[in-house]
Amino acid sequence: MNLKYSDDEIAFRATAREWLSANVPSTPRPAPGEAAVEFDRAWQRTLHRGGWAGVNWPKEYGGLGLSDLKQVIWYEELAKARAPHHINSSYVALMHAGPTLIACGTPEQKAFHLPKILSGEALWCQGFSEPNAGSDLAALKTRGDVRDDCIVVNGSKIWTSGAQHSDYQELLVRTEPGSSRHRGLSWMICDMRTPGIEIRPIRTMLGDEHVSMVFYNDVCIPRSNVVGEIGKGWSVAMSTLSFERGIGFIGDQLDLAERVDRAIELARHTRLECGRIAIEDDGIRERLAAIKAETLAIKAMTLAQICENSRAATPGPKGSLLKLIVTNTHKALCELMAEILGWSFLEYDGSRENHPWTYDYLWSWVFSISGGTSEIQREITADRLLGLPRAR
Amino acid sequence: MFLSAKGNDSEVAQVASDTLNSLMPMSGIHGRTGGQGLAADVRGQLADQGWYTLAVHESGDAGAYTVVDAALFYREVGRIAGPVDILNQCLAAAALHGTRAGDDVAAGKFSVALAVEGGSQRGATLRVIGGGERPDIVILVTRDRVRVLQTAATPTQPIAPLDAVTSMRWLQSDKVEVLRESDDARLWRFGQVATAAMLAGIAEATLDMIVQYAKVRETFGRPIGSYQAVRHPCADMALRVEAARCQLWYAAAALDERHADADIHLRAAKHLNNVAAVRNADSNIQLHGGIGVTDEHYAHFYLKHALLLSRLFGSSRTVLQQLVPNS
């Protein structure tokens, strides 16, 4: 075992650090809304111009094709430079839609969509979950009626992040009448300006409307927008799993380490209600230290997973463990900050800029519920890592 | 960059596992209780394979074991709830290196007890663990002091230990001879790595135990492992193992490479493994149901041994306070 970086990796870190220090925006991201979306597009343009768009995309499709370890380095440097958070308006396009097209798209689809994703010109959202098909995605019912030249979609999707601002949507619908579960589904590119689409934003406990319901009323999608074969949409949806190689949350993992250090710093300057400086309270110090220990372990787990992935054809199930520990630790840190900040934690105007710790605390549930709930991650662990008898 | 036990280092783990399982299999654990410590013949056989020289040389010196090697070895010791005596032997062999006594310890001729700071309640009496009824050598290791004592067959008084696989005794320290004294911090770190690794082994072994059981034991017409009330705690156990173990490897590698922040990683590893072992041993008993509470079942040995190991070389309270200092 060793923790050594190669000369190439060391040089890469220096290059990334230098570029980031010169290019990270000096103004903070505006509150969610049109201005925030424009901020995200501008940042993506900056990344693209600087040659940093698509860090995990193959070079032949305009990305950097970075090794897993270099991606870790890149995200570490992003966190250190306090760069805009990578989970922004471009996230779905860069980390999900684009990789799906790379894995399963036609040359025409790739040629049209991929460059627009990299440059920030096109934003994507995801149309998978439905009111009765969340964890159990295969229960989805939105149907696509296959005609000669188009597919007519009727139904609804929910929890669509950024629907109001997206140009395209990855849409998974049931195209084979009478089919059930994973069979008979199709994955298609939905232009969000197509007539018949109604977007209803959902106000969340954070006070924003970052997710929506989307209703489809006889929405005609050209057959040329189908990715993969009609009826084989499930395997298209699963294709990104092997692409991501299990390190999809890498940015969050490393970001957490930076935030713990900021929390410790804050504790040195904040007085508790009793008048003592927070860091002088043994209980608070121990809890901060326990969280710090977890964040160190998260990085160690990330590095260990990279090693194991590099030796296996398909990524192992330990990505589930990473999501669990990241989301658990995130919430624990925010809960501790509630104690340290006292009354000021209970002031909240809906803005992350003004109330970062309260906002992040409310985000804990988005984190532990979206992208596979903690309960599902435990199910995956029980099935695939431990080989326990199936519960479902 | 490589952080996995499945690389070139794995040979140490395999040899250790084979040896320990043949010398002290879990099936014989009831015979290992009652304060005997490490039986003399077993102590000698481990010595013959050179295991007591793990800490003798600084990692990086020619022919020296690495800290990673030590972590891999002690993880195997933990998996079979192996006695702390094995660690005591390594510490004393290293502390006395270059002397006749050091050679004898390395050769397995002496039994070694570990004195624990703050355990003494009666002035010149030391609480010692491991080493059996009549330890030949006593070693005291703190963060800034190492002290090796020759007991010259000083009588000891037994303490009935909760952890039945570890002997615990009172020893009169006013009549012993100091063999060596130093301020070598390396042995404290070695002890921290070794105990963290033994705890990692316990965290793994207890997870393996319940997973195996959950696949076969049935209730309400189905294997208990098909119920989420069992599956999800097992998943949580797996997470503790993975986090604590990965951090242990990181800390060991950081020590081998002399990283400036190695101590930070080591403290984090000790805390995480303290918690992982005790929580996993706890869940293992709970999920076994009634049989988990019996003496006949092995589960309680792991719990009690984990409690002892978590107190040695840095309880969580201690290392957490060091991880985030007041100033």
- The secondary structure of A317-345 as a DSSP string is THHHHHHHHHHHHHHHHHHHHHHHHGGGG
Closest CA to B315 of B327, B307, B325: B307
Residue that has been written with the tokens 């509150």 in this structure: A31
* A309: contact with B, CB 8 A cutoff: no
Of A286, A298, A375, the CB nearest to B320: A286
Cα–Cα dist B257/B255, whole Å: 5
The residue of chain A nearest to residue B228, with distances taken between CA atoms, is A391
pLDDT above 80 for B124? no
Torsion over CA: B42, B44, B50, B54 (sign) = positive
Q: Report phi then psi at A124, rounded to 5.
A: -120, 155
Query: Which helix (H) or strand (E) covers residue A365, if one does?
Result: helix A356-369
pLDDT at A10: 98
Residue B102: half-sphere exposure toward Cβ, Cα within 13 Å: 14
Q: Is A26 exposed, middle or buried (0-12, 13-18, 19+ CB in 10 A)?
A: exposed
Strands B168-172 and B125-129: antiparallel
Q: State the average pLDDT over residues B265-270.
A: 98
Cα–Cα dist A31/A210, whole Å: 11
Indicate the residue type of A63.
G
Of B234, B239, B321, the CB nearest to A324: B239
Q: State the average pLDDT over residues B41-64.
A: 92
Cα–Cα dist B135/B129, whole Å: 9
Cα–Cα dist B255/B251, whole Å: 6
Q: HEC states along A198-216?
A: EEEEECCCCCCCCEEEEEE
Going by the DSSP 8-state scheme, the letter that residue B39 receives in this structure is -
Q: Hey, which residues does A187 pair with through a beta bridge?
A: A172, A227
Q: How far is CA B19 from the centre of its chain?
A: 16
B74-112 per-position pLDDT tens digit: 999 999 999 999 999 999 999 999 999 999 999 999 999
Cβ atoms A227, A104 nearer than 8 A? yes
pLDDT at B47: 97
pLDDT at A314: 65
Nearest CA-CA distance, residue A280 and chain B, Å? 6
Q: Report chain B's C-alpha Rg in angstroms.
A: 19
The pLDDT confidence band at residue A241, using thresholds 50, 70 and 90, is low
Q: How far is CA B309 from CA B68, B193, B197, B246, in A?
A: 19, 11, 10, 19
Closest CA to A153 of A113, A189, A105, A110: A189
* B244: contact with A, CB 8 A cutoff: yes
* A385: contact with B, CB 8 A cutoff: yes
The pLDDT confidence band at residue A338, using thresholds 50, 70 and 90, is very high
pLDDT at A248: 63
pLDDT above 90 for B218? yes
Q: State the average pLDDT over residues A340-364.
A: 94
Cα–Cα dist B316/A383, whole Å: 32
- CA geometry: angle at B182 spanning B180 and B184, to 5°? 130
List the single range of A340-354, B161-175, B211-225 with lowest mean pLDDT.
B161-175
Compute how many other C-beta atoms are within 10 angstroms of the C-beta atom of residue A262: 14
- Tally DSSP H helices, then E strands, for chain B: 10, 9
Nearest CA-CA distance, residue A266 and chain B, Å? 13
The answer to whether B1 contacts A303, with C-beta atoms less than 8 Å apart, is yes
pLDDT above 90 for A86? no
The residue of chain A nearest to residue B224, with distances taken between CA atoms, is A389
Compute how many other C-beta atoms are within 10 angstroms of the C-beta atom of residue A252: 21
Q: Tokens in use for B175? A: 């009549």
Q: State the average pLDDT over residues A181-188.
A: 97
List the single range of A285-289, B2-6, B282-286, B315-319 with lowest mean pLDDT.
B2-6
The pLDDT confidence band at residue B32, using thresholds 50, 70 and 90, is confident
Closest CA to B84 of B114, B57, B55, B58: B114
pLDDT above 90 for B257? yes
Of A1, A379, A389, the CB nearest to B249: A1
Q: How far is CA A163 from the centre of its chain?
A: 15
Helix, strand, coil shares, percent, chain A, to 5: 50, 15, 35
Residue A265 annotated in active site: no
Cα dihedral B256, B262, B265, B271 in deg (nearest 10)? 90
Question: Would you put residue B169 in left (φ > 0), alpha (ψ -120 to 50) or beta?
Answer: beta
pLDDT above 80 for B52? yes
Cβ atoms A246, A305 nearer than 8 A? yes
Helices A282-310, A318-341: inter-axial angle, 10-degree rounding: 160
pLDDT at A279: 96
Of B211, B316, B326, the CB nearest to A279: B326
The answer to whether B1 contacts A282, with C-beta atoms less than 8 Å apart, is no
Nearest CA-CA distance, residue B279 and chain A, Å? 15
Indicate the residue type of B151.
T
The answer to whether B4 contacts A304, with C-beta atoms less than 8 Å apart, is yes
The answer to whether B226 contacts A388, with C-beta atoms less than 8 Å apart, is yes
Cα–Cα dist A85/A284, whole Å: 28
- For residue B317, list chain A residues with Cβ-Cβ distance below 8 A: 286
pLDDT above 60 for B121? no
Residues within 8 A of B (CB atoms), A 68-127 only: 69
- For residue A378, list chain B residues with Cβ-Cβ distance below 8 A: 228, 231-232, 235-236
Q: Tokens in use for B46? A: 């481990």
Long-range contacts of residues A112-115, Cβ cutoff 8 Å, at least 24 apart: A113/A168, A113/A189, A114/A57, A114/A61, A114/A62, A115/A62
B133-156 per-position pLDDT tens digit: 889 999 999 999 999 999 876 778
* A13: contact with B, CB 8 A cutoff: no
The pLDDT confidence band at residue B7, using thresholds 50, 70 and 90, is confident
Nearest CA-CA distance, residue A77 and chain B, Å? 18
Q: State the average pLDDT over residues A344-372.
A: 93
The answer to whether B247 contacts A388, with C-beta atoms less than 8 Å apart, is no
ipTM of the complex: 0.95
Cβ atoms A76, A23 nearer than 8 A? no
Q: Report phi then psi at B214, rounded to 5.
A: -65, -20
Cβ atoms B278, B247 nearer than 8 A? no
Cα–Cα dist A378/A243, whole Å: 22
pLDDT above 70 for B228? yes
pLDDT above 60 for B40? yes
pTM for this entry: 0.95
Q: Tokens in use for A382? A: 């029980």
**B115-146 residues labelled b (16+ CB within 10 A) or e (exposed):** bbeeebeeeebbbbbbbbeebbbbbbbbbeeb
Q: What is the average pLDDT score of chain A?
A: 93
Cα–Cα dist A67/A55, whole Å: 9
Residue that has been written with the tokens 């990279």 in this structure: A306
The pLDDT confidence band at residue A242, using thresholds 50, 70 and 90, is low
pLDDT above 60 for A246? no
pLDDT at A244: 52
pLDDT above 90 for A247? no
Cβ atoms A249, A323 nearer than 8 A? yes
pLDDT at B133: 84
pLDDT at A298: 93
Of A1, A289, A321, the CB nearest to B324: A289
The answer to whether A4 contacts B1, with C-beta atoms less than 8 Å apart, is yes
Cβ atoms A347, A359 nearer than 8 A? no
Indicate the residue type of A309.
N
**B40-62 residues labelled b (16+ CB within 10 A) or e (exposed):** eebbeebbeeebbbbbbeebeee
pLDDT above 80 for A250? no
Cα–Cα dist B261/B265, whole Å: 7
List the single range of A4-8, A20-24, B322-326 with lowest mean pLDDT.
B322-326
Residue that has been written with the tokens 């075992």 in this structure: A1
Which listed residue (A9, A244, A258, A339) is catalytic?
Answer: A244
Cα–Cα dist A78/A70, whole Å: 12
- For residue A5, list chain B residues with Cβ-Cβ distance below 8 A: 1
Cβ-Cβ contacts under 8 Å for B260 (sequence gap 6 or more):
none
The answer to whether B238 contacts A389, with C-beta atoms less than 8 Å apart, is no
Q: State the average pLDDT over residues A37-49.
A: 97
pLDDT at B58: 86
